[in-house]
Structures are given as structure tokens and as C-alpha cells.
Chains A and B, each alone.
Chain A
């Protein structure tokens, strides 16, 4: 049977067909849908982990215990999981193990453009790079064969366009793989120095064998066409090159890219006069070509950053892209992403933006949008969980001077469970008067609503224990905690006043669900009447001062015909932040 699938869906399907029984992940664009799809196969125990390190460690445990297992994450997630990865490679597997990294050339939803192919070389972990959805499925199945045959975890490197593009996939059947027995083997699984030194030597032997595999496997294949021009490419870049060159050049299409098939590359290059190496981000393949002594057109010829789409390739080779329509771009408005109408972050950041002499330490989530207009209430965004620790460091230094500057550090509930909790422990332990704010919208929002340890459900949709953030924070010894409804601006102000007056750690928890969330029974009970009202403007009272527009709500607008503000009834959910912002009572909330 044929089906249109994204690369993410096809990876999940491949894992299903390969007999995988355990999957763990932390959500992150563009990898999130892998685990979401995995959880639709009841044969696979699918889990959201608290972070990528934990996800990989759980998947390692599953593999050690004898099951085929998979951990998936976005590229920066592998930084978090790098610690277990680099030693896990020494140990080798029992059941097969695959680690999926979803890189983001072009940075559509990411804070950097790191090329995780470097991790393969760094960790000495064999790597596969699929080019489309069919390959995603087939290569996952192949990855488990290699993993178990060579006693190694496998790095499966995807990019945004592979993850999120749909193409036709021929489905196969699931092959049940029996669980292997677990026996204690301290010479393999207890990586103390004496063991590690032995495994280190064995690792080199494994890489030598895998190099032979790389030379012979059809995953690395040559497509010869007349002429002396050749393209070397892996992943989606192979299809981009095909789009531009068609059958006018020969291809070395690489699917198994660590260790690289150096003999195959040499033999291909020897037959060519001109060699294009087409790859995104780092000159990973190009360096191999140059080590072999061949000149090529690569990172010095194509842009060293961003996507290597057919358009980019054409511009580099022909000096121009396709013929286009010329038009006046000056009338185009910008359309940045915004906090939704009814977003519980709005009331908090609208209020916070009025405060002076603050550094607002931010994090990764929807609330990062508070850095732009109209709030401009966020001054840093580094990596998951950094807001509290970065904020603590900054506050400590501000306290050395006399500016009186205070740090308000913000992150979301899922980010708090990810690594924010470690940072909060550090703030409490080292006693800075940083104000740490947990924006608890009862779900992992930005990536499209994944459950987390605070929501009461697991990845399979089963009810589970709810970890209460307030209780957890209190147990750390934080004496000053305010739990507030962020839609009530007086509560936000009171909490900020209270915490700013303190000279010791404090925590504010804003507790209100994401407007787009599928509400649980517990949500409905706790937040009775949520999002059921509508706000409207009384045109006789509104003077057109536009103060309410500073809330940045997309439901509000001013027409071309009259100065009064209008509220779109379809998108308004009656959060009442604009009503509270209006100082003359022109906005009224009605219950529905």
C-alpha cells in the first residue's frame, strides 16, 4: 500500500516495521511528529521524556535490556544528550538503537544552525542520511540491522525539509523482533576507566569494519551519466541537485555518511573534471574530497549557511535564479508570529513591559515572542532552561554595582521540567534575589501541544501522576511563592511588587491554560468558564487612544473608516486583558 507521508511519519512507520518496542523523545521542531506518530502504534511504548538526555538514556536502557529502541530530538537537543551519546558508543548495544537528530538549515524554528553530522565524527557513531520519506522508512529498518550487526548505536540525521515534506511511501509489514536476554556484562556496560580503555580500542576496530561496509553498501551509490561533471550530495540536497541538473551530471549519492566511503569518493572524483559538493551548513563531505586531494566547488562556491535549495544552486552556478515577476515590495507588511488571542502570556508580559530597571531573562517557547513589539519585555533567549541560571548570574553581578537592576527570569512549564528545575535549584542554593517566573500554561505549547509531567497525561494519552510545580518549588526551600492568574493584571502587579521588594529568591507561577489546548476534565474544573466570554468596544465611549492595542492582541484592530477600536468576535475569547488596559471603561466583557 502506498501513502503520502512526511519524513517524520515515515521514521515512525519504519520503527514500527523494524519491530521497535520503545521510543522516547522531547518535543522540538522539526522532530516532534516522530514521537507523536510513534505513539499511534500500540506495539511501541512511546514516551515524552523530560529532556533529550533523559530520552536517550531511557532508550539506551531499553536497548541494554534487549529491545530495539529509538530516541528522537531536534539538533540542539543532541547537545543536551551528547553526554550519554559519547560513552554509549563505547559500550555497544544489545537490542538495536537509533538516535534521530533533526537539523534545521535555515533556522525556521531554532536558535542556531549547527550541523549534527559533526557529532557522528566526534562520537564515532555510524550515520545515515535519508533524502525523502521512502528512504526515511527504509533506512530506519536498515539502521537496526547495522546497529545489531556491528554492535553500535546509529545516528539518523534528518533536516527540516526531510522531516516536514510529504512524499509517497510504500508501506511494509511489521517484523516482530524477540526481546534479547539481558546478562550482567560489566566489561561492556560499566564504563570505568579500565573498561573504557579496552572499549576505546575495540571502537577503532568497529569503525574499520564499518568503513568496509560503507564502501560496499548500496546506501552509497553512483549514478553515472555522460560527461565529466559530478555531484556529491547527501540527504535532501541530492533531490535539490537532481532538480537543477537532471541527468546532465553524474551523482555520488551518499546515504551512509559516517564512516565515509573514501575509496568510492576517490574513484568517483577520478572520473570527473568538475565536482560539485552540495551540502547544507558545514563542509562535511567537502573536507573528505579535499583530504583525498581533489579540488571541488563546495563551501567556497555555494553559501556556507541556509538551505541549499534548487534556487540557491542555480544562483551560484548561473548567476541568477528563474525569471521572476518584478514588483513593488514596499507595500508588503511584515507578519511576525504573535501571541494568540487569549494567550495567558499576554497579561503577564503586558504588565511586565511597564516595569523599569529590569533585565528580563528569557527562554525557548511561545513566550520568546515577548521580545518583539509591543511588549519588548524579554532580553535574552539562549537555550532550554537557561533563563533561570543566566538570570542568576546576571543578578549576582548587578548586585555588585549600585544600579539596583533586577532580573526577572521567565520560562514555561515544559521548559521548567526540561532543565529549568536544575537552574532553579542553583538559584536557591546560591541565594540570589532573582525573580524566577514559571509561565505554566498547562501544556507544551510552541511545538503543538505535547503532554508533560505537569499535565496529567502521558504520550500515549493515558492518565498519569501530575507533578505539582508549586509543591516542587516549595520543597526546594523557596519561601516566597506567588501563584497567580496572569489574565488578572492586578494579581501580576501585586506579585511583581512583592518579589521586587525581596532580597532572596522568589518564584511566581502564572497558572492558566493555553487557549489552543484540548482541555482535560481537571482543566475544565479548575478554570471554570475559561475562554467563554467575548469583549466588545462601546463606540460611544472609545476615544481612539489605542492604549488597548499595546496588549498586542490580534483580535483588536482599528478600521480605515473610524478611529474607534474593534474586536473581532470570532477570535476574541474574552480574556479581558484589553478591558483592564482601557482606562476609560470603553471595553466590556460579556459572558457567553
Chain B
């Protein structure tokens, strides 16, 4: 049975590194894996998504509307934008983090204060504050790895040797902090 995980966020939040580690681990565990990303123009502060699919044999690298087992939003407005991609019984993990867009900054649009409530109306979202957890670890930049830890826990992938994957993916001086972040994300749910 093919599983689909959709990671969404804003350009620059580290969704690509998180999905890179995730897919490397899945491949090591013997799954067939496909991942699709759209690079290019949207990276400049736009909405970004990484689509990860794994199973015995995966055909399409693309996740459809109504097709994701799990939606992981690195920014809460992006969770709302992509909720339609979740299966009816899918799981949403939402980082309680807000990034305004230029139309919000210039006053042409409003970032509603009750986005989490809006999401909760439709799915039983697990909300975590990755920024706070990351700051607690002393490095705001590992919020993405904390969210990766959450994915691993919820998708029951904890048996994979993530430590060696992290060691082979990030620079040596960042290995320890990333391992701590991964554990922190697993403990958060």
C-alpha cells in the first residue's frame, strides 16, 4: 500500500532538507520511494510543497487532492491552503508559525488570526510549536528537523536508523543539534 506525505511551507523554511532526509531513510528501509518538488520561481518567498510517496511499488510521484495520508505544514496558512490534499481520515501536523505574504504586508489582504481554529473545524490537527522547541535547543533553524521527527513518529517509521541518515546528510558540526531536534519532534506527539 503506497503512503503519501505532503510537506508544505514557505520558500526558505527547509522543507526540501526535511524531505531529503525522509526519503533517504525510506529508501534505506527498502521501500520504493518517489518524491516530487517544484523548484524555480516559487522559491522566492512563495508557497512550496514536497510530495513524498513510498510503498512496495510507487507509480506516480504526485499526490492528488484527497490523496495524502499526512499533511505536514511548516506554516499554518499553508496547512489551510493544502487541506484539500488530505484524505478524509488523514493526519495533519501544523507548525504554529505565521509568515505574512507581501499582499498582507501591503494591506491588500488580511492574515486571519483564527487559522488554527479554521483547520481544526475540518481535521484533528496536531499543532506543535517547532520554532519554540527549536529555540529551546538553541538553534531556530532546526524547526524543519523537529517537524521531520513528528512525521517519523506518526507514520511509525522510528525503527529506521535515522541517526546514520542524518550523519550522512548534514555537516558534521550540525549532526548533534539535528539529532536532538529529531528526538524533540518525536517526543512532541
Number of interface residues of B (CB under 8 A): 60
Known A337-B41, A338-B44, A448-B39: A161·B61 in contact at CB below 8 Å: yes
- Asked if B83 lies at the interface with its beta carbon under 8 angstroms from chain A, I say yes
Q: Which residues of chain A are near B44, meaning CB under 8 Å?
A: 337-340, 366, 369
Inter-subunit contact B60/A334 (CB<8 Å): no
- Asked if A475 lies at the interface with its beta carbon under 8 angstroms from chain B, I say no
Inter-subunit contact B64/A166 (CB<8 Å): no
The count of A-to-B residue pairs whose CB atoms sit within 8 angstroms is 184
Known A165-B35, A373-B106: A4·B24 in contact at CB below 8 Å: yes
Q: Which residues of chain B are near A325, meaning CB under 8 Å?
A: 66, 83-84, 86, 88, 122-123
Q: Tell me the dominant secondary structure on chain A's binding face.
A: loop
Q: Which residues of chain B are near A337, meaning CB under 8 Å?
A: 11, 41-46
- Asked if B33 lies at the interface with its beta carbon under 8 angstroms from chain A, I say yes
Docked CA distance A369–B45 (Å): 12
A1-37 at interface with B (beta carbon < 8 Å): 2, 4, 29-30
Q: Which residues of chain A are near B47, meaning CB under 8 Å?
A: 335
- Asked if B170 lies at the interface with its beta carbon under 8 angstroms from chain A, I say no
- Asked if A493 lies at the interface with its beta carbon under 8 angstroms from chain B, I say no
Inter-subunit contact B45/A164 (CB<8 Å): no
Q: Which residues of chain A are near B1, meaning CB under 8 Å?
A: none
Hey, what's the 0/1 contact readout for B23-51 against A, CB within 8 Å counting as 1?
11001000011111111111111110000
- Asked if A557 lies at the interface with its beta carbon under 8 angstroms from chain B, I say yes
Inter-subunit contact A29/B39 (CB<8 Å): yes
> Least Cβ distance of B80 to chain A in Å?
6
A145-162 at interface with B (beta carbon < 8 Å): 160-161
Looking at A2, A333, A336, the one whose CB has the most chain B CB atoms below 10 A away is A333
> Least Cβ distance of A429 to chain B in Å?
34
Inter-subunit contact B66/A324 (CB<8 Å): yes
- Asked if A179 lies at the interface with its beta carbon under 8 angstroms from chain B, I say no
Task: Find A165's partner among B36, B102, B112 (CB 8 Å cutoff).
Answer: B36
Comparing B113-121, B149-157, B173-181, the segment that makes contact with chain A is B113-121
Inter-subunit contact B27/A4 (CB<8 Å): yes
Known A332-B81, A333-B111, A336-B103: A166·B33 in contact at CB below 8 Å: yes
B83-102 at interface with A (beta carbon < 8 Å): 83-88, 100-102
Q: Which residues of chain A are near B40, meaning CB under 8 Å?
A: 29-30, 108-109, 446-447
Comparing A238-246, A281-289, A463-471, A523-531, the segment that makes contact with chain B is A238-246
B43-73 at interface with A (beta carbon < 8 Å): 43-47, 58-62, 64-67
Hey, what's the 0/1 contact readout for A242-286 against B, CB within 8 Å counting as 1?
110000000000000000000000000000000000000000000
Inter-subunit contact B66/A323 (CB<8 Å): yes
Docked CA distance A557–B98 (Å): 12
A162 and chain B: residue at smallest CB distance: B61
Inter-subunit contact A161/B36 (CB<8 Å): yes
Hey, what's the 0/1 contact readout for B104-143 against A, CB within 8 Å counting as 1?
1111111111010010011100000000000000001000
Inter-subunit contact B108/A373 (CB<8 Å): yes
Comparing A86-94, A213-221, A352-360, A545-553, the segment that makes contact with chain B is A545-553
A-B contact list, 7 entries, CB within 8 Å: A108-B38, A161-B36, A167-B35, A243-B60, A311-B65, A553-B105, A570-B140
9 new A-B contacts at CB < 8 Å, known A324-B65, A338-B44: A132-B61, A165-B62, A167-B32, A239-B59, A243-B59, A333-B103, A337-B45, A338-B101, A447-B40
